[in-house]
Each structure stands twice: as C-alpha cells, then as structure tokens.
Chains A and B, each alone.
Chain A
Amino acid sequence: MTINLCFQIVVVNSITINKYICERINNKNFIMVQSENLIRNLVEKHGNSRNSLLPILQGIVADENYLSESSMVEVAKALDISSAEVYGTASFYSFLYTKPMGKNIIRVCKTISCKMAGKQELVTAIEKLLKIKMGETTRNMQFSLIETNCLGWCHKGPVMLINDEIYTEVSPEKAVKILCEIDPQHLTNS
C-alpha cells in the first residue's frame, strides 16, 4: 500500500515536471522565433550594411527591452560580421542594454544642476515606492531605475526620463503620482 502510494506520487510528480519542462522549451522556442522575425523585419527596413547596426539594435531594444545573447548572434549573422563586433558596439552605448531590463526604464539625471535642485530626494522617493535600489529592476519586471548624465533640462531640474517621455521639475510627490499612473495595478499611492 505504502509502496503503491509512493509510486503514484513519483508518477504524478514526473508528469508535472515533464509538462513544466515542455512548456518552458515551447515558450523559449516561441520567444526565439518571435525575436528572429523581429530581426528579419528590422534588417529588411534598415538594410544589412554595417551602417544599419545601431538602428537595428535600437529596434530590438524598443521591442524586447534589452539585447539577448541570441539576438546579438542573430544580428551578427544577418549583417555578416562577428558577434563580438555586435557585442562590442552594443556595450559601448548606455541606451543599449545587454542585461534584461524592466518594461519602463526610469532614468534620473544626476548632473550637478539636477543635484542642486533636489535629485536625491526624488531618487529616495522612487526607491521607497518601488522597493528597489538605484540600478535595480523590480521583480515583476515593470520598472528599472538608473542614473544618467545630463538630460538637457537643467533649468527645470530635477528631471527624469521614463522610456522616451520626459518629466521636469519632479518633486518626490509628483514622481510617486507619475509612477502610480503608469502601473496602477501594482503601485498604490499610499
């Protein structure tokens, strides 16, 4: 009886595990196919010369938030250059990420004018709301918080850039309100 029960548990477990692994593999394949399609479209749009490398990489980041190893290899193949060249170029630029990033990337300007205008209070408020530290990404992959050099709004500091949207003269309260509006599901203005 006991042996039978044990056997049953093992069988049930292995079925669940198998199912889980299959799902993971299918999911991964699905993502890879999607990514290949995206790269193919981008290459068609911008051309396959070396000059198109930056627009292609920007297009991938716009869609997938970062450059995965497989997508960089794929781009290298399409442009007929070594993948080290692609990685070398990508890693030079601060807007091309080679690590997974959140859906919304918050860039807070850290240059002196913004510092003088109260950038640290702003950062503290965001860190507290999102429960992450500078340079980190929330667990649900909704937000990444990073510092950046001059954003070009020194007369209206402190400023932050969320994806392509600029927010000027951001007080800590205003920042909390903006972020809650972007992700009302997970964040509440308490």
Chain B
Amino acid sequence: MKNKGLKKVDIIFDCASCEPLEVIKKALSMKPDEIIDQIISSGLKGRGGAGFPTGLKWKLAKEEDNDIKYVICNADEGEPGTFKDREILDVVPSKVLVGMAICAYAIGAKEGFIYLRNEYNFLLKDLLPLIEKFNQNIQNLGLDFTIKMFSGSGAYICGEESALFESMEGKRGEPRNKPPYPTKAGYNGKPTIINNVETLVYCSMIIRIGVEPFKKLGTTDSRGSKVFSVSGDTAKAGIYELELGIGVDEFVKEFGNGDTKAVQVGGASGHCVPRKDFKNKIIGFEGIPTGGSMMVFNSSRSMYNVLKDYLEFFEEESCGQCTPCRVGTQQLLKGIKAVKHGEKPSSYLNQLLKLAETMKITSKCGLGQSVHNSFSSIVKNFREEIIY
C-alpha cells in the first residue's frame, strides 16, 4: 500500500456543472444498462461509510421484476463529526436530485424520498420549493418520477438502511434481519435503492463528466474522491473534498496543529489512529474506511473522555432490540468507568475487549458491530490514559 499524498479535488461543489436538466437529458439519451455499466466501471463505492459498490446495487435492483420500486436518499447523517451531507444539501441540492432521477431511470422507479434528519429541518424551506420545481421539470422531460421529503424524528439508528425503512413505515426504527437486502425487499417490501447523499452526487457527476476523470482519482480499491468533515483540534475545521487513498500522516500535516496525538477516522463507529501509526495508515477502503468524519485530537485531550463520550453515545442510540448491543454498550461504559475509578483492576480491560469482540460478531446491525472499532483502537493504543 502506497499512499497518494494529499490532493484537493473540486467535483461535488463545482458550480460550473450545476445545470441539472442537461445532465438528466444526457442520462435519458443513454440506455439504463449503459448508465449502470458506467457506474460499475467507475468503481464508485457508497460514501455513507459501509462502501458497498453503487453500480452493483443498482444492477441488483434493476434485475428485480417488480412494478413498484423506490429510490431513497439517506440524509439521516448522524455520525458524530460528520456534516458533509448537510453542506451538500445546502449548497448543491439539485445535484442530489439529479442523482436520484438518474437512479430512478436506471432501475425503473417512479417514486423517491429524501429521508432528512429532523435536526436539518431548517433546510426544508429551500428544499421543498426546489423539489416541487424539479419534479415538474423532469415530468416535462418525460421521466415519470416524483421526489418527496420525509423527516426523521431524531434517532441515529435510522441511518441504518432497514431501520430507515421501518421508520418510514411508521414503526420504531429497529433494523431488520438481512437478507433480504433492500434491493430485493426494502421500503414497503419493494425493491429499493438507498444511497447516501454524497454517493448520489457522484453518480450524477460521473454521468456528466464521464468515468475517466473520476477513475483517475484514488486507488484501485478506493476510486475517486470523497468529502471529509474535519473538526477537533485544527485551525482548518470544515469541509474538504480530497482524493481517496491519502495517508493519515499527509492529512495530519495539512490539518493538524503540530501537536496531534490521534485522529479519529469515521466518527464514533470508526477507528482511532494514534501518532505512531500515522505513517502506515491509509484513508480508503483498503485501509480505514470512513463516512467522512475526521476528528483531530491534540496532546491536551484525554482519550478516556473521548472514549467515554463515544460509549455514552452508543448506549443512548442503541435501539435495544438485540442483547449484545443493548447490554454490551452499557457494560463497556460501566467497565471503563470502574477501571478509571479503581473499582476494577486494569486487567478488566482485557475482558472488555473480548466483550467488544463478541458484540462485533453477534450484534444484529452495524451499530453494535462497529462499537468494537473505536473501543479497541482507543483501549489498545491509549491503555494508560484509560487506567490512570
């Protein structure tokens, strides 16, 4: 693995390419299969964090024989430290709508939804009129597709695709068993494509600028660029689009303040990279995958507090449906507090690490499975800070 060095890119927020109807006209002049082939050959992977190949997802949904299919844009961005989707929906919302329309054309869907988290409801006053106009415009172009808004009600777990469907169906946002996957049985039990906001924008951009410019960026496993949300101990907090495959050391050189102790890549459910590993860790699907959250911590921060904050977050946001996650998150939090206060010996941390490992294997959805990421990377690398 060789890292690519830090390169800033301007695809997502590039306003020269903001003419939405032209892109749709171009897409409509192609065959649905051609569009899917282009997305597949671009190597685009989901930008929400899990990294499922987008083109393959579209292909699976297209192959389903069903009159009713849905396209859903997942704007339930709740990962601590992530704020790129809000910025995209605020600055270039029409690109998201174009991405949805292209997807609908490719798979044969007639209805689409944007599931927006309640915390971003202030975006609605601009989004609603825009969507209304857009719906009208694409009908005029002969594409039978309507987009609607759906507001969430404040639950992190609803960012998980099947929990999101449950929530849209008026139920508690508890993830479903998989399979069946959403491409087979999603919203209302119909084939559904659910993509992250950023993924949809990249789809529309691939159709507009072609596969090659996108493919040129990134590495074999992580094609293209990605929008990062940078926060924490940095003078340059904000949103940056960077080429994938950069080394953490390059990132720290650009965004750190000279005293960076650790970088949390991927938010609370991501990995913590300590200073000693900056050189040999790569940000991308072959290294550390991320939904875009990059939190920078300097030497003055206690990693115990960071871990405690993450665990409190998971404990609160666990839906409580499956035991490993519901009980595991509580026990991990209780455990590190007990070790910190001397009520348990430091060796108790080893037991907690085993518990986290068990949660990874046995939890029903991504929430419980990914607690292990931040827990073990912080406990293993900053053991003394947890104990003393």
- In the assembled complex, the Cα of A88 lies from the Cα of B82 at a distance in Å of 29
Segment of A3-11, A137-145, A161-169 in the binding face: A161-169
Which A residues are in CB contact (< 8 Å) with B155?
92-94
Tell me how many residue pairs across A and B have CB atoms closer than 8 Å: 119
Q: Is B6 an interface residue (CB 8 A)?
A: no
The minimal Cβ–Cβ distance linking B366 to chain A, given in whole angstroms, is: 16
Which B residues are in CB contact (< 8 Å) with A115?
305, 309
Q: Is B251 an interface residue (CB 8 A)?
A: no
Q: Is B377 an interface residue (CB 8 A)?
A: no
Count the A residues whose beta carbon is within 8 Å of the partner chain — how many? 36
Which A residues are in CB contact (< 8 Å) with B310?
112
Interface of B is mostly: mixed
Q: Is A113 an interface residue (CB 8 A)?
A: yes
Which B residues are in CB contact (< 8 Å) with A89?
170-172
* Contact for B232 among A51, A54, A116, CB less than 8 A: A116
Q: Mark B98-131, 1 if CB is under 8 A from A, else 0.
A: 0000000000000000000111111000000000
Known contacts A93-B173, A116-B233, A154 near B83 by CB under 8 Å: yes
Contact count band on B: 35 or more
Q: Mark A52-70, 1 if CB is under 8 A from B, else 0.
A: 1111011000000000000
Q: Is B168 an interface residue (CB 8 A)?
A: yes
B: residues with CB less than 8 A from A are 77-83, 85-86, 117-122, 150-156, 167-174, 188, 229-233, 237-239, 293, 295, 301, 305-306, 309-310, 313, 316-317, 319
- Contact sample, A vs B, 28 pairs, CB 8 Å cutoff: A51-B169, A52-B170, A54-B151, A54-B168, A58-B118, A58-B151, A58-B153, A88-B172, A89-B171, A94-B153, A94-B155, A96-B154, A113-B81, A115-B305, A115-B309, A116-B233, A148-B154, A150-B82, A152-B83, A153-B83, A154-B80, A154-B82, A154-B231, A154-B293, A155-B231, A155-B238, A164-B122, A165-B122
